[in-house]
Amino acid sequence: MKTLLKSSVAACILFITIWSCQKVPLTGRKQFVGLVSNEQMIQMSFAEYKGFMDTSKVISANASDAQMIARVGNRIKTAVENYLVQNNLGEIINGYQWEFKLVQSKEVNAWCMPGGKVCFYTGILPICKDEAGVAVVMGHEVAHAIASHGRERMSQAMAAQGITQLGAIGAGVYSGNQQTMELVGQVLGVGTTLGYVLPNSRKQESEADELGLIFMAMAGYDPQNAVAFWQRMAEAGKNSSKPPKILSTHPADETRIRDLQKQLPQAQKYYTAYASKR
């Protein structure tokens, strides 16, 4: 009976995998996202984000650094949304409610949850150096949300645990199911004690690098600043016994910088197009 059940679950997951793939904008990569809806992902993300901000030291929106984070975020958000709408991809951002917050922390990190919830830690600002450096990080983090990386990780985690119903995660959260809540915390958590946070894969990180380069260029930030930023970040990792979390699952420094240099000509086209409209 157990063998039959496992076979049925495996067959169901295989079937769902076949029909529930979508393509990432611009890169065209096929990804498996169908075990949780975008609406469910966003709802869980908003709750997790609020919980984190309620227990963190959020820098006042009137502070100059916080204003810079919001300014860069909104500029990139507007450029990306315009691109998606113009290319009939506006459904990707349905339900998004963008927020760009700066939190007091020595940790060198930044992240973006599904639905457009962005957080920068003050610890990363010295490496950013200026607004262009912030744009490099912002483009990369926004790319994770636009490329549905969180939803992809959630679907993969659900498949690994044999959860095949689209509503299973949401139902589990609302009923207080511990296993389900831990899974949500592992995928979305930033300060959660429910479990470790499932990281983006290196494939996703490389994709966020590529998209981030284009997104910052769309917003009028010179993409050539990306190489210098990641060189500084790599140096920070070498000079620390505990490398920045933002580097934890990223490609090797040399590989990343080499890939960015290869991608610069494509991103430069978007930067030139932005400049021609000014």
126-130, 178-182, 261-265, range with the lowest pLDDT? 178-182
Most confident of 18-22, 51-55, 245-249: 51-55
168-182, 201-215, 260-274, range with the lowest pLDDT? 168-182
Write down the pLDDT at residue 119.
96
Write down the pLDDT at residue 176.
47
List all residues 6 or more positions away from 134 whose beta carbon is below 8 Å from its beta carbon. Answer: 68, 69, 72, 120, 125, 128
Residue corresponding to tokens 């860069």: 72
Q: Give the type of residue at 155.
A: S
Specify the DSSP element, H or E, that contains 110: strand 110-113
Question: How far apart are the C-alpha atoms of 267 and 121, rounded to whole Å?
Answer: 27
Contact (CB, 8 A) for 118 and 142: yes
Average pLDDT over residues 202-231: 95
Average pLDDT over residues 268-275: 96
Q: Nearest CA to 148 among 252, 30, 17, 16?
A: 30
Q: pLDDT band for position 154 (50/70/90)?
A: confident
Question: How far apart are the C-alpha atoms of 128 and 206, rounded to whole Å?
Answer: 19
**Structure-token pair, residue 193:** 């004690």
Please give the model's pTM, rounded to 2 decimal places.
0.83
Q: How far is CA 81 from the centre of its chain?
A: 16
Q: How far is CA 266 from the centre of its chain?
A: 21
Contact (CB, 8 A) for 137 and 120: yes
**Structure-token pair, residue 272:** 């030139």
Give φ, ψ of 58 to 5 degrees: -80, 130
Average pLDDT over residues 101-125: 95
40-44, 67-71, 170-174, range with the lowest pLDDT? 170-174
Specify the DSSP element, H or E, that contains 194: none
Write down the pLDDT at residue 193.
36
Q: What is the pLDDT of residues 242-260, one digit of tens each?
A: 556 555 555 677 888 999 9
Contact (CB, 8 A) for 52 and 193: no
Q: Which residue blocks in the chain are alpha helix, DSSP H?
A: 2-19, 38-54, 64-86, 125-128, 131-146, 149-160, 168-174, 178-188, 202-218, 225-238, 253-277
